[in-house]
């Protein structure tokens, strides 16, 4: 068992983290006073070593029975179990998991056996990766590292402490995928071989969705996780629509970076530069970056003069985008937003090339509403242009001048973040027409007039509308 005192810097960071959880040190000291060894375990230890913010605190108590731990925790508040069979406690109002060492059987519904006397090595062996199989004694501040996770962290290597236990939980496959993207670490040969063949057919869509969201929302280079799926041969069964892009040629004048798959990977990484007010919007734009050119699989043609074209790929990409999303998410909103962005991802460049007028921007903003905005479309278009680096996998670092012209056009038309509000509403027509389908058609026509002719005066618009109607 490798152990050493953590550094003063890490000690300070840990102390600051614990201080965010009121009363936690009193609980730790009481558990210790009753004979328990209290360890911070899992991802929090890894995050501290990486100087990252801790997402969750998991504390494991050795040497005390389940009932003893529960009784001690109850002195500090209302205690409840997170799944009775898992031996994990929570105190109301304190965002910390308190657990005991346990062994799990294989399967989707494992039998859990709590064993307070389990050795540290055996307890840590049940964890997925060596970088997560470390602990910090919260009394002595020793780092406990039975599987050399600290070295693996430094060398950016992903290994599993126990291959036999690793395959007992198939979700670990997807955890490896998102860990690659989040931490720029790569599996050793043994872990690659395990993941290439392990059975992942019975993982629920909900759990798969969670891991893909971690990959896309928490990674500086989410493409690394996707590229890994391709490297170990799992992409065709997990995301066949994306696997089909491998080897699809592109016109080198427009896409010097290589095949279609390479372009999508670079565009996905470029999209990380854009973050929005909520995770769902951010996620939608990253999925759109991943999927925006899927339509090229069926529309790409090589001509006699050597040119390669993909006319209509924006429209053709809608169906494969929906199919891909259904494999990895349950969110209905994403099935609306992402295909819409894919369908219109060519518009920014076309608008600038054609010298589009304000009315065109207003029509497009209306077509995207309420699911997406011209600002989101501009960001996608810029990521698309940056995903064309012939020198390596990193996206280009450049200002997308034509896309910025599109953005300015949308701003000038006052529709960058929302469509223009209608001048006329149903209440404005009640004196002349009753609510119903005819009123709906008139309101639609009024809005067209408003946008096309720039009419903003309500009375003028009413006059024009009914003159045309009669």
3-155 CATH pick, 3.40.50.300, 3.30.460.10, 3.40.50.970, 3.10.350.10: 3.30.460.10
Measured in whole angstroms, the distance separating CA 268 from the mean position of its chain's CA atoms is 11
Helix (H, G, I), strand (E, B) or coil at 137: strand
pLDDT in tens, 5-46: 888 888 999 999 999 999 999 999 999 999 999 999 999 999
pLDDT score of 106 = 55
| 246 has pLDDT over 80 | yes
Percent above pLDDT 70 for the chain: 96
> Considering only CA atoms, which of 323, 330, 294, 326 is closest in space to residue 310?
294
Q: How confident is the model at residue 431 (pLDDT cuts 50, 70, 90)?
A: confident
Mean pLDDT of 204-221: 97
pLDDT score of 9 = 85
DSSP-assigned letters across all residues of 73-87: HHTTS-EEESSGGGT
| 111 has pLDDT over 70 | no
Distance CA 286, CA 288 (A): 5
Q: Which residues contact residue 143 at a Cβ distance below 8 angstroms, ignoring those fewer than 6 apart?
A: 3, 4, 5, 6, 45, 134, 135, 136, 150
Residue with the two structure tokens 């470390």: 134
Inter-residue contact 390 to 256 (CB < 8 Å): yes
Inter-residue contact 465 to 445 (CB < 8 Å): yes
For the chain, the first-to-last Cα distance in angstroms comes to 90
Mean pLDDT of 396-418: 94
Alpha helices in 387-436 (DSSP H): 401-412
pLDDT in tens, 264-289: 999 999 999 999 999 999 999 999 99
Helix (H, G, I), strand (E, B) or coil at 334: helix
| 415 has pLDDT over 60 | yes
Q: How confident is the model at residue 110 (pLDDT cuts 50, 70, 90)?
A: low
Distance CA 404, CA 351 (A): 11
> Considering only CA atoms, which of 166, 94, 170 is closest in space to residue 132?
166
Q: How confident is the model at residue 399 (pLDDT cuts 50, 70, 90)?
A: confident
Residue with the two structure tokens 């860990």: 179
Instruction: Give the mean pLDDT of the chain.
Output: 94
Phi, psi of 419 (to 5 degrees): -70, 165
**CATH fold label, 170-237:** Hydrophobic Seed Protein (1.10.110)
Distance CA 351, CA 408 (A): 12
Higher-scoring residue by pLDDT: 162, 113: 162
pTM: 0.91
Mean pLDDT of 418-445: 90
Mean pLDDT of 385-401: 93
Inter-residue contact 64 to 28 (CB < 8 Å): no
Structure tokens at 384: 């698309």
Q: How confident is the model at residue 3 (pLDDT cuts 50, 70, 90)?
A: low
pLDDT score of 456 = 87
pLDDT score of 171 = 97
DSSP-assigned letters across all residues of 270-295: HGGG---SSHHHHHHHHHHHHHTTTT
| 108 has pLDDT over 80 | no
Instruction: Name the least confident of 70-84, 102-116, 189-203, 210-224.
Output: 102-116
> Considering only CA atoms, which of 162, 192, 165 is closest in space to residue 177?
192
Inter-residue contact 411 to 361 (CB < 8 Å): no
Mean pLDDT of 347-365: 97
**CATH fold label, 239-412:** Hypothetical protein af1432 (1.10.3210)
Pairing of strands 186-187, 157-158: parallel
pLDDT score of 196 = 98
Distance CA 164, CA 106 (A): 10
Helix (H) or strand (E) run with residue 330 in it:
none
Alpha helices in 271-368 (DSSP H): 279-291, 296-299, 313-316, 318-328, 332-343, 347-354, 358-368
Domain residue spans in the chain?
3-155, 170-237, 239-412, 426-469
Structure tokens at 21: 């959880």
pLDDT score of 1 = 59
pLDDT in tens, 46-93: 999 999 888 889 999 999 999 999 999 999 999 998 865 567 999 999
In angstroms, what CA-CA distances link 434 with 62, 220, 299, 431?
A: 74, 55, 48, 8
Q: How confident is the model at residue 454 (pLDDT cuts 50, 70, 90)?
A: confident
């Amino acid at each position: 068992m490798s152990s050493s005192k953590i550094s003063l810097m890490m000690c300070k960071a840990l102390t600051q983290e614990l201080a965010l959880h009121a009363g936690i040190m009193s609980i730790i000291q009481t558990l210790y006073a009753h004979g328990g060894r209290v360890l911070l375990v899992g991802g929090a230890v890894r995050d501290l070593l990486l100087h990252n913010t801790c997402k969750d605190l998991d504390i494991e108590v050795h040497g005390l029975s389940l009932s003893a731990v529960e009784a001690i925790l109850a002195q500090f508040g209302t205690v409840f179990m997170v799944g009775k069979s898992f031996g994990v406690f929570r105190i109301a109002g304190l965002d910390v998991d308190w657990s005991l060492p346990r062994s799990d059987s294989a399967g989707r519904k494992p039998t859990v056996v709590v064993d307070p006397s389990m050795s540290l090595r055996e307890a840590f062996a049940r964890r997925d990766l060596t970088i997560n199989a470390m602990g910090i004694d919260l009394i002595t501040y020793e780092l406990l590292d039975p599987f050399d996770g600290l070295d693996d962290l430094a060398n950016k290597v992903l290994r599993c402490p126990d291959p036999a236990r690793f395959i007992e939980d198939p979700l670990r496959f997807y955890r490896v995928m998102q860990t690659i993207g989040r931490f720029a670490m790569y599996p050793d040969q043994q872990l690659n071989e395990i993941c290439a063949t392990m059975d992942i057919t019975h993982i629920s869509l909900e759990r798969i969705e969670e891991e893909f969201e971690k990959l896309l929302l928490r990674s500086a280079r989410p493409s690394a996780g996707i590229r890994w799926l391709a490297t170990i041969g799992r992409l065709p069964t997990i995301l066949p629509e994306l696997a089909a892009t491998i080897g699809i040629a592109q016109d080198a004048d427009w896409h010097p970076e290589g095949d279609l798959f390479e372009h999508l990977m670079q565009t996905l990484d470029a999209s990380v530069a854009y973050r929005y007010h909520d995770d769902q919007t951010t996620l939608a734009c990253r999925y759109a970056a991943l999927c925006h050119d899927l339509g090229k699989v069926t529309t790409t043609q090589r001509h006699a003069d050597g040119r390669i074209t993909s006319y209509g790929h924006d429209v053709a990409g809608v169906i494969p985008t929906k199919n891909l999303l259904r494999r990895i998410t349950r969110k209905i909103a994403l099935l609306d937003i992402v295909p819409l962005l894919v369908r219109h991802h060519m518009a920014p460049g076309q608008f600038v090339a054609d010298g589009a007028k304000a009315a065109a921007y207003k029509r497009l903003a209306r077509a995207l509403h309420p699911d997406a905005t011209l600002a989101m479309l501009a960001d996608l278009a810029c990521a698309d242009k940056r995903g064309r680096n012939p020198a390596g996998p990193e996206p280009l670092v450049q200002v997308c001048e034509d896309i910025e012209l599109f953005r300015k056009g949308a701003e000038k038309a006052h529709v960058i973040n929302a469509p223009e509000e209608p001048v006329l509403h149903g209440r404005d027509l009640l004196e002349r027409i009753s609510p119903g389908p005819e009123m709906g058609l008139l309101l639609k026509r009024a809005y067209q007039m408003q946008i096309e002719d720039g009419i903003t005066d309500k009375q003028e618009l009413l006059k024009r509308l009914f003159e045309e109607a009669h």
